[in-house]
Amino acid sequence: MAVTQVPNNTPSLEEPRSPTHTSSDIEGQTKQALVVELFDYSKRAQWLRAAVLGANDGLLSTASLMMGVGAVRKDSKTMILTGVAGLFAGACSMAIGEFVSVYSQYDIEMAQIERENNVLANDLESKKEKLPNPLQAAVASALSFTVGALMPLLGAAFIKDYMVRLGVVIGVASFALIGFGWLGAVLGGAAVVKSSIRMLFGGWMAMGITFGLTKLIGTTGL
């Protein structure tokens, strides 16, 4: 007597099952993405602060020096030499100041890590990697200061007319300030318009005060 075999429709235990995503998993992935994004901005902050501040200081200090000397001396040679001296002095000052400042922060954070006795070896290495780099900050400050200082110098280097030379320095500095404000805002995730306007008006105030006070001192003979 033949035995009729009934097909077995029961799914095998080895058959793959489609993954299910719960709301908690999706929420966790979203939070992780946000943490990664914020971490990227925090890593940028170390070199971004040194670079943007260095370029801004180089631009403003050199342009203000040139405007101040231009208030009492109309020859281009004096104005250019003053700007070059300000470039060298400012770049060295920014590099040394940034190196000392960041190295002090590095020492403080290293001492705090060493006081934590329960930190594992892997955690210790990962924390050291997150510490600020003094040499990197110093080089970034010096280079960015030099780039910023070269802008008004190159703009006024070949202009003989006094009034045109002053106008070029102000114009070049204004455009560069807007650019630095835009760059810092884009890379740092801040408001672009607000950052650019803040940079621009701050630069105008620095150049105007330097020009006015130097003109007053030169006129009164103090």
In a domain, 20, yes or no: no
Lowest-confidence pick of 35-39, 114-118, 211-215: 35-39
In a domain, 22, yes or no: no
Number of separate domains in the chain: 1
How far is it, in rounded angstroms, from Cα 71 to Cα 62? 14
Residue 211 resides in a domain: yes
With CA atoms as reference, report the closest residue to 168 among 148, 150, 154, 181.
154
Q: Any alpha helices (H) in 71-133, and if so which ranges?
A: 76-115, 121-129
Instruction: Tell me how far CA of residue 121 lies from CA of 37, 115, 117, 130, 208, in angstroms.
Output: 27, 14, 11, 15, 55
pTM (2 d.p.): 0.69
Q: What is d(CA 138, CA 98) in angstroms, rounded to the nearest whole number? A: 5
Is 3 contained in some domain? no
CA–CA distances in Å: residue 172 to residues 81, 129, 152: 18, 39, 6
Question: What distance in Å separates the CA atoms of residue 222 and residue 28, rounded to the nearest whole number?
Answer: 68
Q: By residue range, what is the domain housing residue 216?
A: 45-220
In a domain, 180, yes or no: yes
Question: Which DSSP string do the residues of 12-65 spell out, in sequence order?
Answer: PTTS-------HHHHHHHHHHHHHHHHHHHHHHHHHHHHHHHHHHHHHHHHHHH
pLDDT value at residue 46: 58
- Give the pLDDT confidence score for residue 145 in this predicted structure: 93
Residue 132 pLDDT level (bands cut at 50, 70, 90):
confident
For residue 10, tell me if it sits in a domain: no
Q: Centre a 10 Å sphere on the Cβ of residue 25 and count the other Cβ atoms it contains.
A: 11
- Does some domain include residue 117? yes
What local confidence, expressed as pLDDT, does residue 1 receive? 45
Residue 24 lies in a domain: no
Mean pLDDT of 190-218: 89
Mean pLDDT of the region 107-117: 76
Q: What is the mean pLDDT of residues 20-40?
A: 49
